[in-house]
Amino acid sequence: MQKLYIEPTYLTPEINFSPDENKFIIRGVSSPEDVRALYYPVIEWIKIFIDDIIEGAVSVFHKDSPVRMHIDLSYFNSSSAKFLFDIFSELKRLKASEVPVVVEWLYEDEDLDMREAGSDIAELVEMEFTFVIKPKMHQ
């Protein structure tokens, strides 16, 4: 399966989905002017990726080799939240195939709003997230 890479801008996150490396990362700021233009291709890619796993075309992922999703956003707007929910809803389809999905939600130690936003999305989509405090950068 081809990887999906979208360069970050000051309003859009880096999106790096590389099945061969088991790397699925959304990182940066997500406040695009046209949220659909950014996220529709991502959702379509995820649908195909998950269909390929379910149909057996991609066999790297199984109960001993989960899909690993890293969400490392410093900010996202409400429109982006809806699309994050859609991404996780798609990933949740893997449960029927017994392919686990590990979601790491990174946040700054002081940014409890970002931690809570992740908790809210996890609860809405009925998935378990692992919350990881980002390491502090030394000045």
| Residue 139: inside a domain | no
CA 71, 72, 77: angle at the middle one, nearest 5?
Answer: 85
Alpha-carbon distance of 78 to 95, in angstroms, equals 27
Q: What is the pLDDT of residue 17?
A: 98
| Residue 34: inside a domain | yes
| Residue 40: inside a domain | yes
Query: Residue 73's domain spans which residues?
Result: 4-133
| Residue 66: inside a domain | yes
pTM beyond 0.85, yes or no: yes
| Residue 78: inside a domain | yes
Here the CATH number for the domain that contains residue 87 is 3.30.750
H or E stretch at 96: none
Domain count, the chain: 1
| Residue 109: inside a domain | yes
Residue 100 corresponds to which tokens in the numbers above?
């686990």
Picking from 114, 39, 131, the residue whose alpha carbon sits closest to that of residue 82 is 39
Q: What is the pLDDT of residue 97?
A: 84
Residue 66 DSSP label: -
The model's pLDDT over 9-67, given as tens digits with 9 standing for 90+, comes to 999 999 999 999 999 999 999 999 999 999 999 999 999 999 999 998 888 888 888 99
| Residue 47: inside a domain | yes
**Cα distances (angstroms) measured from residue 10 to each of 28, 39, 77, 136:** 8, 16, 13, 22
| Residue 138: inside a domain | no
The model's pLDDT over 117-137, given as tens digits with 9 standing for 90+, comes to 999 999 999 999 999 999 877
